[in-house]
Amino acid sequence: MASTLTVRLFELLCLVLFVAGLLWVRRTGHPVYAGVYLGSTLLFGFDWIFNSNWLFRVEFDAKFIDVWRIQGVSEPLAMALNYAFYFGAPVLLLVHFREKLDRRFGTRGYLVVFLLGAAALPVFEIPMVRWLKLWHYYQKPGYLLGGVPWSNIWYSGLLTVTCYMGARLAVRWASPARIPTPIPAPGGPGTMAAPAPLTFEDRAKGLLVGAASIWGAFYVSLLVQIAWYAVTQPWVPTPKPF
């Protein structure tokens, strides 16, 4: 497996990218964006399911800092950070520029998002598995590309586009109205309009609906992935207990 230095550098990279995404979300001040990023950060529960012997059948290097470890099976903290910047930040950027995507591609924009999500997977994961050896998949060689299940490519596209669709709807449904309120105009008589401050309900609704849009997308995609593995069953023996 990987050296301690390699693992720590990867964890540091995940932390830096996570913080960069968090700062950008905070600067936007949008409660739905915050919810999407929060939901993406908490996807390590799904990752725990994905990595089980009945799906990806993956084992992480034992040197990772754990969120938890059960019967010797680890859920690395870096994976929680990784989901935030791999799905949360890109999806939010796509949603932020959705009007430009719509003008350029129309309804084909969803296909573009799918292809972008699919293309990103081998670029990111193959070096992590084949060269850095940070984790290992126990699957038959015919189902692997560079040590990574090639099904992860279309699955990454599916996760990205469903998260994009969900986050778009969350922004539409849960964005605060920001009704203008009159304030005195500077330097003279009269008033000018200013956005009303966000209420607790605005923030709570944005957080909950934004996070739920990501979790809902992952749940629907998980059902597709379960069907894939039920049909293919591409595994080889593993020392993992589950």
User: Which of 41-50 are b and which e, b meaning 16 or more Cβ less than 10 Å from the residue's Cβ?
Assistant: bebbebbbeb
pLDDT(36) > 70: yes
Q: Contact 39/217 with Cβ under 8 angstroms?
A: no
Q: Contact 163/214 with Cβ under 8 angstroms?
A: yes
Q: Contact 63/7 with Cβ under 8 angstroms?
A: yes
- Tell me the per-residue pLDDT of 91-133, one tens digit each, with 9 for 90 and over: 999 999 999 999 999 999 999 999 999 999 999 999 999 999 9
- Tell me the per-residue pLDDT of 176-235, one tens digit each, with 9 for 90 and over: 875 454 555 455 554 444 566 889 999 999 999 999 999 999 999 999 999 999 999 999
Burial of residue 154, with CB atoms counted within 10 A of its CB: 0-12 exposed, 13-18 middle, 19 or more buried: middle
- Tell me the per-residue pLDDT of 38-96, one tens digit each, with 9 for 90 and over: 999 999 999 999 999 999 999 999 999 999 999 999 999 999 899 999 999 999 999 99
Name 84's Cβ contacts closer than 8 Å, sequence gap at least 6.
18, 21, 22, 37, 40, 41, 43
Q: Contact 35/206 with Cβ under 8 angstroms?
A: yes
Note the pTM of the prediction, 2 decimals. Answer: 0.91
pLDDT(164) > 70: yes
What residue segments make up the domains of the chain, in order of their start?
4-176+197-232
CA 72/CA 202 separation, integer angstroms: 42
User: Which of 107-142 are b and which e, b meaning 16 or more Cβ less than 10 Å from the residue's Cβ?
Assistant: eebbeebbebbbebbbeebbebbeebebbebbbeee
Q: Contact 92/168 with Cβ under 8 angstroms?
A: no
Per-residue tokens: 10 = 């990867």
What is the pLDDT at residue 187? 53
